[in-house]
Amino acid sequence: MDKLVVTGGGRLTGEVVISGAKNAALPILCACLLSAEPLKLTNVPELNDIGTMLKLLAQMGVKVEREGENVTLDASGLNNPLAPYELVKTMRASILVLGPLVARCGEARVSLPGGCAIGARPVDQHIKGLQSMGAEVGVEHGYVVAKVGRLKGARLFTDMVTVTGTENLMMAACLADGETVIENAAREPEVVDLAQCLISMGAQISGAGTDLIRIRGVEKLHGASHRIMPDRIETGTFLCAAAITGGDIRLLGTSTGYLDAVVDKLLDAGCEITGEKTAKHECIHIIAPPRLKAVSIRTAPYPAFPTDMQAQFMAINAVADGTAIIRETIFENRFMHAVEMQRLGADIKIDGNTAVMKGVEKLQGATVMATDLRASASLVVAGLVAEGETHVERIYHLDRGYANIEAKLNALGANIRREKA
């Protein structure tokens, strides 16, 4: 397996272009299943997870054309509403085909995703919602099997805020008979981006971005064009990379509006951050001090601090001045990177879902193992300031979710090389 070798020490300066959002692109790719007309997407990030989703759609009979960041999907020949285990196991977001398939085909067989490194991550809320809309849904031989004539609009309430759950049910409701109301809906910007794409396909949706989404079902959706929003987690990761190195960088094609909670914490840590608009780009400019102040965080659903930025803030706090408390409230097992950071010399004490960190003057390079996508990114960020070489192993996680991360960081002055296994 490939690894990244990060030589610490450089201060990041310059400009980086932020890619389209993985977590917006994945549900939006699935939205093509709702229509027999083509969906044209731009700013689709070039990532392994996107490749997996396109493979999954293609084996269902969707015609896929991909040219760099432009993807056209034509689901007029959709003939196989099946998501096999082999594809679903590598990417949990495959569950996002369930809602659209049931709505358009009246049936679906989608493998249960199973657990993953950060927690159990069940899909019971997706299933409960479809059942409330009149589908017969059961689990057979590890597959979610759903059947229905036509879904019926219903009042849906999820037990917790779930992002892909909200997206799945919102897509399903677009073709249901009558009105669906999703209460306790996720308010993430990616849910809003999906809703905007669906609306341009003819869906009748209001309230996306609030915790109550109303969808009036229509007979069918038509073709559309849509540009995927910028990736706020990639944005946040590069902000942290700049911050930890005392850097000064501009992030192009993104905006602070998507990540107030993260920006707030970086301001508390002592960074200067401004949103700027040029003729060509929206952009963010960050200037970081030589040493950051420690900042405590608590993850929670949007608009609070995102769990997908928790690991990167652990890297920052590892070398910041002072003590920070990190509380993870979304996933039960999302501190595996802490043990790896301890190998770099970080002072971290874990008690359940709480980590107490005391910043140290210096980290030291070591061999560490990436355990999930954002954990991998945090280890690279930590490696940027560790003395000597940090070898980050198992980086296939990183390639799932970050487009050209080492090339982008090297263009800012980092020293990272990929070693093939």
Residues that bind ligand UD1 (CB under 6 A): 23, 26, 92-93, 119, 121-126, 160, 162-165, 190, 307-308, 330-331
- Across 136-202, the runs of DSSP E, i.e. the strands, are 136-140, 143-147, 155-157, 179-183
Shortest spacing between CB 326 and ligand UD1, in angstroms:
15
Q: Assess whether 283 carries a catalytic annotation.
A: no
C-beta closer to ligand UD1: residue 162 or 371: 162
Residue 38: count other Cβ atoms within 10 Å of its Cβ.
17
C-beta closer to ligand UD1: residue 12 or 330: 330
Catalytic hit among 32, 105, 116, 271 = 116
CA distance 57 to 51: 10
Shortest spacing between CB 124 and ligand UD1, in angstroms:
5
- The amino acid occupying position 270 is G
Shortest spacing between CB 27 and ligand UD1, in angstroms:
7
C-beta closer to ligand UD1: residue 154 or 412: 154
**Are 370 and 6 a contacting pair, CB within 8 Å?**
no
Listing DSSP states for 302-314 in one string gives TTSB-GGGHHHHH
C-beta closer to ligand UD1: residue 162 or 237: 162
The strands making up 143-147's β-sheet, listed across from edge to edge, are 82-83, 107-111, 143-147, 136-140
Shortest spacing between CB 316 and ligand UD1, in angstroms:
19
CA distance 406 to 129: 41
C-beta closer to ligand UD1: residue 12 or 73: 73
Closest CA to 204 of 190, 189, 221, 192: 221
Residue 52: count other Cβ atoms within 10 Å of its Cβ.
18
Shortest spacing between CB 398 and ligand UD1, in angstroms:
14
Cα 19 off chain centre by = 12
